[in-house]
Structure formats: C-alpha cells, structure tokens
Amino acid sequence: MIQPLFRPRRNRLTPAIRDLVRENQLQVTDLVMPLFVIEGQNQKTEIHSMPGVFRYSLDLLVDECIDLYRLGIRAVVLFPALDESKKDRVATESANLEGLYHRSLRAIKARVPGLCLITDVAMDPYSSDGHDGLVSPTGEILNDETLKILCTQAVSQAKAGADIIAPSDMMDGRVAAIRAALDQAGFTNVGILSYTAKYASAFYGPFRDALDSAPKKGDKKTYQMDPANVKEALRELDLDLAEGADLVMVKPGLPYLDVVRALAEVSEVPVAVYNVSGEYAMLKAAAQLGWLDYQKSVMETMMAFKRAGAKIILTYHAKEVATWLAQEAVSGPR
C-alpha cells in the first residue's frame, strides 16, 4: 500500500478540529441589511425579482429594524422607493428634511438608537433621468455640478440622524467634497463609507426594479467602472483614502472577489463588499427551482467574502444569515 508522506486531511478529521483550524469566521456584526422604504401605512410589498425582499412603509420599516437589531444586526443601509411625481432633474427631494427618507431616518433613530444608520448618497432614486448625477441637455453626466447636490443631500441626511454616509454615485472628488460639507456643518463625527470600486454591472437589475430607478436614457458606463479593470480600483482606493473615506467598498461582490482581495491587501481602512440584488436573485431562483441548497450556498458565499478580505458585508441575505448564526450558536454548526 502507498503511504503518503503528508496528510492534510488530519486537519479536517472531526468537527472540533475543523473548528480549531478554521481561518475565517463570519459574525452577525459583519452584516449590513439594505432596506427599502415606501410611502403609506402598513404596506409591505415584495420585490418581484427579489423574492423574500420587501419595500416597507415607515411603520413596518421600524418594526423590521427592531427585529434585525434583536437578531444581532448592528447596521442597515436605507433606500427610498419614490413615486415618479417626486422625481425631478436636480433630485430636489433628496434633501427634503420632511420627505419620506429623512422621516424614516428620524423614526429609526428614535426607536432603535443602537442601530448604525448608513445612508445612500446619489441622485438616482430622486432623479427623473434615473442617473446618479446631473444630466446635461446633451446627455452628459455633469461631475462638478453634481457634487453640490450630493453635499446638500449628505448634510441633510446627517441632520436626520445618519451615522455613516455612503456615496454610491461614482462622481470624481465626491468623498472630499462631502467630508468638507459635513465638517463645515458640524458633523465631524459622521463617517463616510465610499463605494470605491463600483462597477457598471448587470447585477443591479433587481435593485432598479425595486426603486423603479433604471436610467431613462443611456447607461452608467461614464461613471461606474469597467468590469475589465482592477488597477483602476486601486487608483480609486488611493483617492478615496486621500479624500478621507473611513470605509471603502467593492460592488458587486461575488463576481469581483479579486477586487475585494486587491483592496483588502493594501487598504488602511476596513473593506466592505456589496452582495448586490442580482446575486441575491440568482441564489433565490436556483433554490426555488430546487437546484441548490439555499442555506448552504448563502453561507458559502458569505465565507467567500470573508476569505477575500472583506470585513463588512452588505447583503439582502443578512436577516436569514443572522437567524442561522443564532441557531448555530445553540445547536452547533451544520
């Protein structure tokens, strides 16, 4: 009989040994749950292309936040689904302190003060053009003109209780501009989670369904990154760190794990990853067809993010994962 010299399988022999040698851990406090808010009372509408994910009216949104907090989730990121009538060219509604978004922030802060509130900064949920920046009459996305709008939006969100501002727009110079605007308004303790490497991705499709926010004309390729590039992500990282980002993010997640790894190797601040709507939809669809074990494939996906070097994971699976982690704590891992 052949006797191998080396036996890596020894370290896989029993659950106890596997627990002992495991290199990466997933904690419930790594998770951030994205949430969608809509107008109305007692409304909970499912997103067609994201089964199990809902848009909540403010009252139910607060209940959901209480639930998430009880499960150990410590942060949420909020997006508004607005009626077309609330949208205009300059995204006026994005800084309306009495609007749905800002009312929601205040309500969550009041009822779940321990929950970290991350807010999204970009024009698209409020823009009649469906773009993250201001669109010129010729269809150009205007960078510097957009910065002013983003700064006003960010400061208004801080006033309503945001703990961390997350610009998802990919305009140049927005981290420095938002930092300066926050500081000038006295919000020196409000942090910035920059969407550092956000790619022009087809995986955002279900999110745009959720907000009805797809661009009316053109695409987002003049501001979101080309999926072919990784060095460019490192350049964006350098700029974001120089401009004062407290946290940096890669988006989407699973198709861009190499980018997560590249940033995690050099970043001086924690790296987050956004496991986006289309990634959620893929696993949900396969599970519904009976083609994948949902829980196992979700947990494996979460571990992939940790292994790639992400500290923080924004994911629509967050509540399910938190529930499973709590069960595991009682009964041991599956």
Known binding-site residue numbers for Mg(2+) = 236
Unique residue bearing structure tokens 């891992």: 333
* Cβ closest to ligand PBG, residue 87 vs residue 220: 220
Sign of CA dihedral 222, 227, 232, 235: positive
The answer to whether residue 153 forms part of the interface with ligand PBG (CB under 6 A) is no
* CA–CA distance, 6 with 295 (Å, rounded to integer): 34
Phi-psi region of 161 (alpha: psi -120 to 50; beta: other; left: phi over 0): left
Query: With contact defined as beta carbons under 8 Å apart, do 155 and 181 qualify?
Result: yes
- The correct pick among 54, 199, 207, 305 for binding ligand PBG (CB under 6 A) is 207
Least separation in angstroms between CB 276 and ligand PBG: 4
Residue 277 is encoded by which pair of tokens? 């709507």
Residues in contact with ligand PBG, total (CB under 6 A)? 12
Distance (Å, whole) CA 188 – CA 180: 9
Catalytic pick from 86, 87, 220, 251?
251
Give min distance, CB of 214 to ligand PBG, in A.
Answer: 7
Which listed range, 54-62, 84-92, 203-211, 302-310, lies at the site for ligand PBG (CB under 6 A)?
203-211
Among 277, 283, 284, 299, binds ligand PBG (CB under 6 A): 277
- CA dihedral of 161, 163, 167, 172, whole degrees rounded to 10: 110
Question: Shortest approach of ligand PBG to residue 297 CB, angstroms?
Answer: 18
Question: Pick from 122, 248, 250, 269: which binds ligand PBG (CB under 6 A)?
Answer: 122
Q: How far is the CB of 6 from ligand PBG (least distance, A)?
A: 44
Q: Is residue 103 near ligand PBG by the rule CB under 6 A? A: no
Which of 86, 87, 198, 284 is labelled catalytic? 198
- Of the CA atoms within 13 Å of residue 120, those in its CB half-sphere come to 24
Under rule CB under 6 A, residue 157 binds ligand PBG = no
The verdict on whether 251 is a catalytic residue reads yes
Strands 50-57 and 116-121: unpaired
The answer to whether 252 and 274 are in contact (CB under 8 A) is yes
* Contact between residue 207 and residue 280 where contact means Cβ atoms under 8 Å apart: no
198 in catalytic set: yes
Write out the catalytic residue numbers: 198, 251
**Sites of contact with ligand PBG (CB under 6 A):** 120, 122, 124, 132, 168-169, 204, 207-208, 220, 276-277
